[in-house]
Chains A and B, each alone.
Chain A
Amino acid sequence: MGNNNSQLLKGCLEGCVLKIIEIKGEIYGYDILKTLKENGFTTMTEGTLYPLYNRLQKKGMISAVMKKSALGPARKYYSLTADGREMLNRFCESWNHMSTIVNQILNRHLS
């Protein structure tokens, strides 16, 4: 059951990450992980997320800027691009459509 959940969550990860970046404006990777954990992605690690940020950056969905940090090492802050906003809108539409269909079928079984 746990494995099914994590596979489902992984499929929505890109969209969720883009949404978090949209809400926060400019955000550091660790803060994205904290937000995901607080909202149910409890098994997510930086090992899974960091390559995702790089992929989104390569596709032009997010942009990154290095900023000095009080702790020492410079930090990468991510923000959403126009293309990223468009991708997020498409994800939200697909999610709404899919969740409506799935809920219809699941509710049919229950009744």
Chain B
Amino acid sequence: MRTKQYIKEMNQYSAALSRENQKKFDQILLTLRFAPVNNHDAEEFSHHCLDLFLQAEKENKPVEEVLNTNDMDELCNSFINESKNGYSWLEKMYWQINYLPLVLFIFTGIWEMLAGFLVKEWFTGHATAAVPVTVSLCVDTVFAMAIIAFLFRKAHSFYNIFNGADKRKDRLATLALFLGSYAVIGLFVVSQLVFTQILFYVNYAAFMGTLAAIIIVQHFIENKRV
């Protein structure tokens, strides 16, 4: 089955789960979707877990008995580690960084280059497609990648905090995210002001075209299984 068929079936049948099991299933889904493993394998395993959840409800058993573990994190980590054991070093590297072309396309291409430079140039009458790659742009891009890698790694923890019963943790996490956002904005502003040295120029259409091609190829490679 293709990845999107797995996702379609999960969306269709997960609504039948009890509220408690829905939360546990969402926890598994979130962990696996942000894990550095093949997307198809992650969706397939999540789909299989959904069937086990439904099986548990049909047999009137706790889902932990059917899954043979009380710890959903342990279940997911076993799957992630066992899957990675079967990967070549190239595959392991790819699944760690497969989101980078999209980050470059959206953050660097649209936000930094288009909104941050080209739109200004076009409005002042300069019909240019050449964008200066400054030290600031490089630094900001690295920041953005690090932030996204951090959010991916912590998505599961944030989900547990914001959906948990501990309101104090919820408030502290909200405050931390709020302050963190302002700190990140501050870093971007400082970097724009301080690191103004131009390293080279890049053709915007070529840059975005290359990234779009990479993203499209990625999409086909990651969804090619039948």
Taking Cβ atoms with an 8 Å cutoff, the residues of A that contact B are: 29-30, 33, 37, 42-48, 50-52, 54-55, 58, 66, 69, 71-76
Residues in B with CB closer than 8 Å to A48 are 78-79, 82
A50-B74 in contact (CB<8A): no
B1-A51 in contact (CB<8A): no
Q: A46-B52, A69-B51 are in contact. Are A51 and B85 (CB under 8 A)?
A: yes
A71-B79 in contact (CB<8A): no
Q: A46-B67, A72-B12, A72-B16 are in contact. Are A30 and B55 (CB under 8 A)?
A: yes
Q: How far is the CB of B194 from chain A (nearest CB, A)?
A: 47
Total chain B interface residues with beta-carbon distance under 8 A? 31
Q: A30-B55, A71-B58, A72-B12 are in contact. Are A37 and B68 (CB under 8 A)?
A: yes
Residues in B with CB closer than 8 Å to A43 are 68
Q: How far is the CB of A107 from chain B (nearest CB, A)?
A: 34
Taking Cβ atoms with an 8 Å cutoff, the residues of B that contact A are: 1, 9-10, 12-13, 16, 41, 45, 47-52, 54-55, 58, 66-69, 74-79, 82-83, 85-86
Q: How far apart sit A75 and B9, CA to CA, in the bound complex (Å)?
A: 11
Q: How far apart sit A62 and B45, CA to CA, in the bound complex (Å)?
A: 18
Residues in A with CB closer than 8 Å to B55 are 30, 71
Q: How far apart sit A31 and B12, CA to CA, in the bound complex (Å)?
A: 24
A73-B50 in contact (CB<8A): yes
Partner of B75, one of A37, A42, A46, A58: A46
Cβ-closest chain B residue relative to A28:
B51
Q: How far apart sit A47 and B58, CA to CA, in the bound complex (Å)?
A: 21
Residues in B with CB closer than 8 Å to A72 are 9, 12-13, 16, 51, 54
Q: How far apart sit A69 and B55, CA to CA, in the bound complex (Å)?
A: 11
Q: How far is the CB of A45 from chain B (nearest CB, A)?
A: 5
A74-B82 in contact (CB<8A): no
Q: How far is the CB of A42 from chain B (nearest CB, A)?
A: 8
Residues in A with CB closer than 8 Å to B16 are 72
- Given contacts A46-B52, A71-B13, could you give 11 more A-B pairs where the C-beta distance is less than 8 Å? A30-B52, A45-B68, A50-B82, A51-B41, A69-B51, A71-B54, A71-B58, A72-B13, A72-B54, A73-B51, A74-B9
